[in-house]
Amino acid sequence: MNIAFGHTNMDLDCLGSLILLKKMFPDFRLVRSNHIHPAARNIYKYYEPYFDFLTPGDLQDENIEKIIIVDTCMAERVKEYFKYIQSLTPDIYIIDHHPRDNCNILGARIEGGTAGSNTSLVGKLAMKQNITLTSEEATIALTGIYADTGRLIHENVMQEDFEVAAWLLGMGASLKLVKSFLETIKEDEQHAALSRILMAKNEKEIQGHMILFSFLDLEENISGLSAVVDRIMEIENPDAYFAIFNILKNNTTLLIARSQKEKIDLHNLLHKYGGGGHQAAASATIKDMDGRSFFVELLSHLGMSLTPAVRARDIMSREVRVINENNTLLEASKLLEEVNHTGMPVLNDREEVSGFISLKDIMKARKASAMHAPISAYMSKPAISADASITMREVELIFYRHNIGYIPILENQKLAGIVTRFDFLHYKKQKGSI
């Protein structure tokens, strides 16, 4: 027998990968986990006949020749299957989009990639084989892609995700159904947890990153907590969110984390706690440790492990054209034309930034026939400036609040550089997050 399966606690991306494998390798039987992720249970119930799953127990006494594993390369996440596989040397092929530094399934051949969704990785292989899907199969696969990429807006999204999503739409995938399957906060317990967290959440700045934390005591674990975490991440929009659930019934701490910043790599940060996932989404279960003690430990770990956030000094232009406030507006106009700028900082005789002169200000002076007046009479003042230590989140806030195109950057109260809207947008284009 040849079989294919994914990780324990199968999620939407895992199901999306498996439905494509079933069409690519019709001689392989799919095996489901004994645990289905709460977010995937609805789609699993509706489309179970399309998978025709075996259970791990069905593998008992079977001669397993070939195995395909999707969405994980960690032995501990597939041990429920190998518990029943008696073949000593099956041929194992893995298709996984996660980082490979934790791969420990011996003897396996691994097909890796950088796609945001594992379904996209399998989908590229299916496209090469010119596989034809039913609209139902395409809908299952597209749901997997949307779930693991935040509907194609997470930073882990790659070109392959869009290509496979477009292919699936061409196969008849229903966006209406995909949307309904992604609406995962439906249970009363989830709504109650969401309300409690929103009341008790708190933010901390760590290494310049705005980190959201929540701590919640639960008598016992409830289904769908990851969906609650995703919703709070959407509402609050922090750089990263660490949700800690203290499960009193079995003295277990559950950590669910989300990140939208390249510098906050959850896969690496949670490795210390035996966590699994990828850069933008990961989780860990910590046993026999009080939840509040773990919270203190996590804060210390993040303080020591997080890479400092990018500051204004890291992206500012250090060569800044300036003009003295006692110069005339005519001189300012000529200088701006010469250097092809729309504005520049204005300094007083103590070399301090006293204002900002723009072409708009000069236009007002020209209309008033006051081009020989000093710049100080028409410049914008006081100048909107900022210290070199501010973060990109603070830079964005200044641009938004004041509707300006330039921010003079100060070090020790003296002009050290300038950040333009172009500088900031270029940074966001390169890094994606702030």
Q: 194 pLDDT exceeds 90? A: yes
Q: Give the tokens for residue 156.
A: 């882990």
* CA distance to 223, 253, 263, 271, per residue, from 296 (Å): 26, 13, 22, 17
pLDDT higher for 277 or 233?
A: 233
pLDDT of residue 253: 94
The DSSP bridge pattern shows strands 252-259 and 281-287 to be antiparallel
Looking at domain 188-305, its CATH architecture is Roll (3.10)
Residue 330 in contact with residue 235, Cβ under 8 Å?
no
Question: Confidence band (pLDDT; 50, 70, 90) for 430?
Answer: confident
Q: 3-class SS at 133?
A: coil
pLDDT of residue 433: 65
Question: Confidence band (pLDDT; 50, 70, 90) for 289?
Answer: confident
Average pLDDT over residues 249-267: 91
Inter-axis angle of helices 135-148 and 159-170, nearest 10: 160
Domain boundaries, the chain: 2-182, 188-305, 313-431
Residue 135's Cβ-side half-sphere holds a number of Cα atoms within 13 Å equal to 7
Q: 414 pLDDT exceeds 80? A: yes
Q: 327 pLDDT exceeds 90? A: yes
Q: What is the mean pLDDT of the chain?
A: 93
Residue 273's nearest CA partner among 264, 259, 262, 284 is 284
What are 157-189's pLDDT values in tens digits? 999 999 999 999 999 999 999 999 988 787 888
C-alpha dihedral over 315, 321, 326, 330, to 10 degrees? -130
What DSSP string runs through 37-81?
-HHHHHHHHHHHHHH-PBPGGGGTT----EEEEES---GGGSHHH
| Extended strands (E) in 170-308 | 202-206, 209-218, 240-247, 252-259, 276-277, 281-287
What are 98-108's pLDDT values in tens digits? 888 778 998 89
Percent of the chain with pLDDT over 90: 80
Q: 431 pLDDT exceeds 80? A: no
Identical fold for domains 188-305 and 313-431, yes or no, is: no
Cα R_g (the chain), whole angstroms: 28
Position 35, amino acid: H
Average pLDDT over residues 246-274: 91
Question: Confidence band (pLDDT; 50, 70, 90) for 432?
Answer: low
pLDDT of residue 153: 85
Q: Could you give the CA distance from residue 76 to residue 53 in angstroms, rounded to a whole number?
A: 21
Domain 2-182 bears CATH identifier 3.90.1640.10: yes
What's the DSSP call for residue 377?
G
Q: Give the CATH superfamily of 313-431.
A: CBS-domain (3.10.580.10)
Question: Range with the lowest mean pLDDT among 138-142, 153-157, 315-319, 339-343?
Answer: 153-157
**Cis peptide bond prior to 382, omega within 30° of 0:** yes
Question: Range with the lowest mean pLDDT among 58-67, 94-103, 291-300?
Answer: 94-103
Q: 3-class SS at 19?
A: helix
Question: Range with the lowest mean pLDDT among 30-39, 137-146, 182-191, 394-403?
Answer: 182-191
Residue 379 in contact with residue 345, Cβ under 8 Å?
no
What DSSP string runs through 287-335?
ESS-HHHHHHHHHHHHHHHSPPPPBHHHH-BS----EETTSBHHHHHHH
pLDDT of residue 207: 94
Position 228, amino acid: V
What are 1-52's pLDDT values in tens digits? 999 999 999 999 999 999 999 999 999 999 999 999 888 999 999 999 999 9
What are 329-379's pLDDT values in tens digits? 999 999 999 999 999 999 999 999 999 999 999 999 999 999 999 999 999
Q: Which residue do the tokens 């609650």 mark? A: 228
Report the predicted TM-score, pTM, of the whole model to 2 decimal places.
0.69
Position 15, amino acid: L
pLDDT of residue 99: 80
